[in-house]
A and B are shown apart, each in its own frame.
Chain A
Amino acid sequence: MIKRIKIVIGILLICLIAYNSVYFEALDEKKLSEIKEDFSPKTFAQELMQTQINNVPALEASAYFAQLDSNFNSFTKEHGKTLGVSNYRYFMLEGKGKVLAIEDENVRLDIEGLDSQSILLATDFIFGNTLRDASGLVSISDYANTMDFNNISVEMNHIVKNEIIPPFMKQVSEGQSVNFKGALRLNLEEKQTDELRVIPISLAITSNNP
C-alpha cells in the first residue's frame, strides 16, 4: 500500500516538474515581445524615411486646393487619413511654387497654377505626428506601448529638421521655384485652407534665377 502511494506521489512530482519545465507561447506573441525589446524608434524612422516615405502617393497641390474649395467635406473624407477620433485629417501633398518670403519658421510658397494660394513650408518648429500620420506607414495597433509609436514621430521630425531642411535653407531665396513633397494637417472644424503648413520630406530648387 505504501509502495503504491510512493509511486503515485512520484508520478505526480514528475508531472509537476514536467509541467513547469515546458511553456507554450503563441509565435506571434513571442515575435511581438522580441520586437518590443529590440525596437529602436530611431532605426525604424530612418528606415521609413530612406526607403518608404518617398513612395507614398501624394495629391497634387493645385488640384488639392481646388477640391478643398469646391468639395471640402466629401474630398477630406475620401482622401484624408486620420488617427482614432479626431477633427484632423492628414494628407501627403506635392507640387511646385514660387518662394514669396523666408520667414522665421517657414518658407512661404505661392502655389503654381492657382491664383494667390500660398502654403508654408515648415523649416522650424517641426513637431507632432503630422508626417507619421499622413504617411499611413505606421499603425498604432502594432505598438503595445503607445510611446514607441509616438517616438517614431519624434525621430521622423528630427530627420526632417536635421537632414532635409539645412541644405535647402542654405540655397533658398525669394523668387526661386521649388518642387516639394510633404505632409499636411487640416482641421475639419476650422476649415482653414490658407496658412496651411507642410512638413517637407523632399525639397528641390528648380530655378535659381529670381
Chain B
Amino acid sequence: MKYLTIFLITLMLISCSQSRKESEGNKKIAIVISTLNNPWFVVLGEAAAKRARELGYETTIFDSQNNTAKEAEHFENVISAGYSAILFNPTDTEGSVSNVKRAKEAGIPTFCMDREINSLDLAATQIMSDNFSGCVELGQYFVRKLNKKGKYVELLGLVGDNNTWNRSKGFHSVVDNFPEIEMVAQQSADFDRNKAMEVLESILQSHPNIDAVFCGNDAMAMGAYQALLAAGKAESIMVFGFDGADDVLQAINDNKIEATAMQSPKLMAQKAAEFADQYIKGNKDFEKKIPIAVEVVTQKNIEKFAIK
C-alpha cells in the first residue's frame, strides 16, 4: 500500500510537470493590426509574428480593416481563446482604449505598436516612432529647400490618429515660424495613396502655383507625386513624405521626391514581441511609452539606405 501511494504521487508529479511544459509550449500571442491593406502595416504585423515565433509562441494576425468594431470583435475572440499577450496596432487613439481595457481586465497584456492610445495605465507599454521629432527635422529641411519662402499644401493622415497630429504639429512647430512660407490648403487623405492623388488634383485646380506638398506618410507622397506628374508639375513642385517606404526611397534616389523620414516598423515590432515575452516570463516593469527615433532621408544621404 505504501509503495502504491508513493508510485501514485510520483505519477501525479510527472503528469503535472508534463502538462505544465505542454501549456508553456502552447502559449499564443495575438497580433492585431489596424489594416493589412497598407504594406507598411503588413511589414509591422509580419515582423511582430516572426519575432514572437522565434521566441517560441504560436501567433495569429488579425486585420481590423481600420474599423474599431472589427477590432473589438478580434479582442473578444483573443480574450476567449486564451492568448497570453496582444501585440496591437490600434485603429483609433480614443476608440481603441476600451478594447485594451477589456484585455487588461481579462489579464492579457497589450503592447501597442506604432500608434498610441490615449491612456497611460492600460497597455503594458506603447512603442512608437518619434513622429514629432522626425517632422521637426523634416520641417527644417523643408524650410531650407524653400529658402524660407513659398506656398505649400499639407496632406494629413487619419484625423483620429495621434500620429497624424504629432507629425503635422512637429512640422508646423518649425514651418510656422517663417512668415513668407504660406500653407494654401490642408486636407486629409487618410494615409491613402489614391485618395491623396484625388485630393491634390482637386487642390491644384484652385492653387496651381504651389512650391511644395508635405504629406503625412509615404503612400500619400506617392499619390501626390502621381497627381503632379499628371498635371505636368512633377519637376517644379517638391514632395515630402514620412515612413521610409521602399518606393519612396527609390523615388528620392531618382530625384522625384525630396525627402522622407525613415521609421523602423521591424524594430518596433521586434521590441513589442520581446517585451511581451519578458512580460510573460515575469518582468512587467516597462516605460509606459517608448519612442523610437526616425531619421530624415534626403537625396544627400540616400546612399545610407539600401534600396531593394
- Cα-based distance from A153 to B165 in the complex (angstroms): 16
Q: Which residue of A lies closest to B287 (CB)?
A: A141
A44 an interface residue at 8 Å Cβ cutoff?
no
A127 an interface residue at 8 Å Cβ cutoff?
yes
Pick the contact of A150: B170, B288, B292, B293 (CB < 8 A): B170
Pick the contact of A84: B119, B174, B292 (CB < 8 A): B292
Q: Which residue of B lies closest to A86 (CB)?
A: B293
Chain B residues within an 8 Å CB radius of A153: 132, 173
Cβ of A28 to closest chain B Cβ, rounded Å? 9
Asked whether B120 lies within 8 Å of A141 as measured between CB atoms, the reply is yes
Asked whether B136 lies within 8 Å of A147 as measured between CB atoms, the reply is no
Pick the contact of A129: B120, B133, B162, B288 (CB < 8 A): B133
A2 an interface residue at 8 Å Cβ cutoff?
no
B266 an interface residue at 8 Å Cβ cutoff?
no
0/1 interface trace, chain A 125-143, chain B, CB 8 Å (1 if under): 1011100000000001111
B195 an interface residue at 8 Å Cβ cutoff?
no
- Cα-based distance from A150 to B162 in the complex (angstroms): 12
- Cα-based distance from A84 to B130 in the complex (angstroms): 9
A34 an interface residue at 8 Å Cβ cutoff?
no
A20 an interface residue at 8 Å Cβ cutoff?
no
B291 an interface residue at 8 Å Cβ cutoff?
yes
0/1 interface trace, chain B 122-149, chain A, CB 8 Å (1 if under): 0000001010110011011000000000
Chain B residues within an 8 Å CB radius of A146: 116, 128, 132, 162, 166, 289, 291
Contacts A141-B120, A141-B287, A147-B166 given; does A128 touch B136 at CB 8 Å? yes
Contacts A86-B293, A127-B173, A128-B136 given; does A150 touch B121 at CB 8 Å? no
Chain A residues within an 8 Å CB radius of B116: 146
Contacts A129-B133, A145-B118 given; does A140 touch B291 at CB 8 Å? yes
Interface size on B, residues (CB 8 A): 29
Asked whether A85 lies within 8 Å of B162 as measured between CB atoms, the reply is no
Chain A residues within an 8 Å CB radius of B118: 144-145
Asked whether A32 lies within 8 Å of B120 as measured between CB atoms, the reply is yes
Interface residues of B in 158-190 (CB under 8 A from A): 162, 165-166, 169-170, 173-174
Asked whether A84 lies within 8 Å of B140 as measured between CB atoms, the reply is no
Q: Which residue of A lies closest to B294 (CB)?
A: A86
Cβ of B97 to closest chain A Cβ, rounded Å? 10
Contacts A83-B130, A128-B136 given; does A147 touch B165 at CB 8 Å? yes
Pick the contact of B292: A29, A85, A128, A151 (CB < 8 A): A85
Q: Which residue of A lies closest to B168 (CB)?
A: A147
Q: Which residue of A lies closest to B264 (CB)?
A: A85
Chain A residues within an 8 Å CB radius of B128: 146
Asked whether A150 lies within 8 Å of B169 as measured between CB atoms, the reply is yes
Asked whether B119 lies within 8 Å of A144 as measured between CB atoms, the reply is yes
Chain A residues within an 8 Å CB radius of B162: 145-147
0/1 interface trace, chain A 61-104, chain B, CB 8 Å (1 if under): 00000000000000000000001111110000000000000000
Chain A residues within an 8 Å CB radius of B132: 129, 146-147, 150, 153
A165 an interface residue at 8 Å Cβ cutoff?
no
Cβ of A67 to closest chain B Cβ, rounded Å? 23
Cβ of B288 to closest chain A Cβ, rounded Å? 4
Asked whether B271 lies within 8 Å of A154 as measured between CB atoms, the reply is no
Asked whether B291 lies within 8 Å of A84 as measured between CB atoms, the reply is yes
Q: Which residue of A lies closest to B288 (CB)?
A: A141
Q: Which residue of B lies closest to A141 (CB)?
A: B288
B237 an interface residue at 8 Å Cβ cutoff?
no
B267 an interface residue at 8 Å Cβ cutoff?
yes
0/1 interface trace, chain A 13-47, chain B, CB 8 Å (1 if under): 00000000000000001001000000000000000
Asked whether A84 lies within 8 Å of B169 as measured between CB atoms, the reply is no
Q: Which residue of B lies closest to A125 (CB)?
A: B140
- Cα-based distance from A181 to B140 in the complex (angstroms): 24
- Cα-based distance from A88 to B289 in the complex (angstroms): 17
Cβ of B50 to closest chain A Cβ, rounded Å? 19
Asked whether A128 lies within 8 Å of B133 as measured between CB atoms, the reply is yes
Known A86-B130, A146-B162, A146-B289; 9 more pairs at CB < 8 Å: A84-B293, A85-B271, A127-B136, A127-B174, A128-B133, A128-B137, A129-B132, A147-B132, A151-B169
Residues in chain A within 8 A of chain B (CB atoms): 29, 32, 83-88, 125, 127-129, 140-147, 150-151, 153-154, 157
Closest 8 CB pairs of A and B: A86-B293, A141-B288, A84-B291, A150-B132, A85-B292, A128-B136, A84-B290, A140-B289
